[in-house]
Structure formats: structure tokens, C-alpha cells
Chain A
């Protein structure tokens, strides 16, 4: 039995995912989450075989949650679910440690296959994603320089969503002191002075939606 966690901030998508997955004789949905933080917590609690994560979610994006899940629950395989078909999004997904990437508009054809494939320890990419990756590889992939560590990016997202230091500390299970030092580092590295600039940065990096 493949135990699946589904995380998407849209209730209707979650219920659709649940309906389709539960119809499979070899799968069950063990938990649902409506944001990245909840997805991470549920994963640690339920230890599903596969976590299906929407790419853009509040509090912690699907990509950030994938990174955390790989670090804290390495047995769970992550499958990214996304509306976007630009290759940059696939690459980010794979870089974050996802084992598969499924486009929402191909979810009817691909989702069940993808869950079985990644549960089996293999990698699943939808046709479009494979083609884009080949192109990128042929072009000689262009690396984006990211001055911030993944943890700092998590803090950035929460700052941009107007969380206080204490709330950030609670959300990420860190001490307030650590959050404070991350915050100082972020502002220092980016050369920014106030939250407004951080918000702009977070929007530009796709961490929050404008």
C-alpha cells in the first residue's frame, strides 16, 4: 500500500486529488495539508511514502517544503504538482529534491503513474518537463546565484508574509535568537533596510505571490 500525503492550498484540488488517489486499490491518503509548514509537520508525523506538494503555497512554498522533507524525512519521496510549465520551475523542483514533477493540466494522465513511479524509488517527469530538461542540458544550464541559504529563504518568506520573529521561530521550530540572526544576515547579504524591500525580493524570487 502506497501511503500518500497531499498538500495544496486549494481545498477543491485536495479533494480532487484525494478522490482520484483513494480510488486506486494500492494507495491511500494518510494526511492533507494546506501549506508547506503543515505538509512538513504531517510528513514527520505520518511518514508517508509519497508527499504530493503544490509548488506555490503560503507559509512555506512546495519547493521549500520539499527541501525540508528531504532533510528531515528522507524516506518520503516528494512529487511536485504545478501549474507552471516553464523549465525554470522544473529545475527548481528537482534541485529542491523532488523525485517527480507533474503538471496540473496533465494530472489526469500522469498523477497516478507518477505516484507509483516515485514510490518505487524512480524519477518521474512529465513529457514537457523531460523535453525542457533536455533543452536546458543542451544549452548548458545557467546557474542562478543565490546569496541566501535555504533556511534564510524560509525566513525571508515568513518576513514577507508579515510574521513576527516569535511567530517565525514557532513556525520553523527555531529559537527567537536564531531567527534574529538569520534576519540580520538576510538584510546584510541583500543590502536591504526594510521589510518592503524584503517583500519585493520575496515576490521576485517567487517565494510569495504579489
Chain B
């Protein structure tokens, strides 16, 4: 059985066929028509034609009536789950049932989107919390133990015979290196400065380290008071900046980066601009989200973060023309807790 046979329109047509056939059969019986009588065969032919005509008109009318439903289905199928703006179906439809269906579908989409954002926010928060805990553990447990080892090694070095002194110094160097690596790791996970001093000092420190590591010149311009933003938004800003800088460090070959943070009454804009190699943004979309040439840029992660913070991410770039990443939150919403 094909899908078409199962469709609503097919079923209605089939029911109508049966009804019309039965009616005609009953009518011919009542009129005493007899197929064996040769001059009544014309009447049968006319009856048969009537059946076919009725069915055709029936099909045509039904298809017209069902057309809005088909349109609705096409629209629903055209919805891109990653793009909330495409969710809206037309509000008004002349047919009441279709109108109702389309409106309840809109509501369903809204609820799904809301739930998606809520669980996405919770997941993001849980992830930050976990990173924070890991970073603290690295700091507080592992690095303290290494500190103790370092101090003891120094004590040992002070009365080591010259022969083993070199060995002890080498050990100290290794411990030192491990501490530095752990510190970097902890910082990448979640910089303590973000919790201890707030967003802007953490951003400044991040930019300074980036500049020292890559030799890229960095300028920062901040307006308004980003410190009063909800914590999730601050985290989003920090992480998006982190990702953008990582991209610049890896791909751009830039010589200068400028970062602007503007936070006014209820709206926020973060702009990260570089003068590097740039890329073709069209290639990103053409290549698909997960395995295109832009997959390594972590863009989808940045976009998701921006969305969960209630904003949007805009990436502008052209080969040879640098890249500008903008996070824009037009209306800062209170975060659902």
C-alpha cells in the first residue's frame, strides 16, 4: 500500500466513491433498470459517466480544500531547527481549522524553543560549574602539592653535595614547568579572575596574555558597565572572546586586534575585529555546519552561546579583508533560574 492510499484526501475520495456507487446502484434498482435490456445500456453508460464526473469534481474540490493543509505541511517541513526566526508560521489563514492548527503549532514551537533554551542554559551552566570545580581542584589540590614538592626540593638543594645538586635543580625545573602548565590549563578551563575580579579585568588579562603569546597588537575599548550583566551573559562574552581570539591566533595571521565592549541600558555589543587573512563566509554555509571548512572555527559553538544568552552572533569576513565577530544582545533578558 502506498502512502497516497493512506492519505486523508484519498480516504475521503474512496468513501465518496463507495457512497456514489451505492446511491447510483440503488437508484438504478428503484428505477427497474435492467442491463440485459439492450436499449437501457445507454442509461448505464450515462450512469457510469455520472459516477466518473462526480468523482472528478469531488477530487478537485477536495484538493482545493486540502491545499492549505499541504501548504502548512510544506512550511513545517521547511523549518530550520537551528534558526528560531524561521519558526513563525503565518498567523491568519482563512480556513478556521487550518488557522487553529497553524496557531497551535506556533505555540508548540515556542514552547519547544523555550525548553531548548532553558535546557541549553542549564547545560551551559553545569558545564561552567564543572570547569570551575576542575580549575579550582587543579589550583588548590594539585598545584599546592607541587608547591610543597618545590619547597622541599629547594630545602634539599641547599644542603645537597655538588654532585647531586644538578639533579635536584633539574627536578625543580620540571616541577616548575608542571605548575605553569597546570596553571594555564586551569585558566583555560575557567580563569579565577573571572570569579575574583569580574568580567573586564578577566578580559584585560586574557588580551594581555594573547598579545604576549602571539605578538599581535591588542586594543580594548569598553563603554558602560558590563559588570552588572547577568553572570551567564558575562560568561558568554568571555567565552566568545576566547574562541574568537583562538581563531585569530590559529588562522588569521593578524597583526592587530581591536575589541569593543559596549553595555548600555539593557543592550550589549561585543565586537572583535582583526586585520588578518579573513575567509569566505559563504563557504561555511555551503560546506554545511558540521564538516565544512569552517567547522574548525568553533563558530557553531559561539552561535549557540550567543543564542542562549538571548542574542545573536554576526560574523563578517572576506578573504584578505580581516574578520569581525559581533555579539549583539538587543534586549537583556532576566535569566531563567
Contact = CB atoms under 8 A, between A and B. Distances in A.
A16 B147 contact: yes
A16 B179 contact: no
Given A88-B193, A206-B197, A105 B155 contact: no
A13 B148 CA distance: 5
A192 interface: no
A151 interface: no
Contacts of B192: 84, 206
Contacts, number: 93
Interface stretch (B44-52, B138-146, B270-278, B298-306): B138-146
A112 B155 CA distance: 10
Contact of A204 (B140, B144, B198): B198
A20 B205 contact: no
Contacts of B140: 10, 209
Interface string A182-210: 00000000000000000000011110011
Contact of A105 (B136, B180, B195, B197): B180
A12 B196 contact: no
Nearest to B157: A108
Given A16-B152, A20-B155, A210-B132, A104 B147 contact: yes
Classify the secondary structure of B's interface with A. Answer: helix
How many residues of B sit at the interface, in one of the four size bands?
A: 20 to 34
A123 to B, nearest CB: 22
Interface string B104-146: 0000000000000000000000000000100010011001111
B267 to A, nearest CB: 22
Contact of A12 (B145, B158, B183): B145
A206 B195 contact: yes
A86 B151 CA distance: 22
Interface in A55-99: 83-89
A15 B176 contact: no
Q: Which of B144, B147, B179 has the most CB of A within 10 A?
A: B147
B151 A16 contact: yes
Contact of B155 (A23, A87, A106, A210): A23
Contacts of B146: 105
5 contacts: A13-B151, A20-B155, A86-B201, A87-B205, A104-B150
What 7 pairs across the A-B complex have the smallest Cβ distances? Answer: A206-B196, A16-B151, A16-B148, A108-B154, A12-B148, A105-B179, A10-B144
Interface of A: 10, 12-13, 15-17, 19-20, 23, 83-89, 104-108, 111-112, 135, 203-206, 209-210
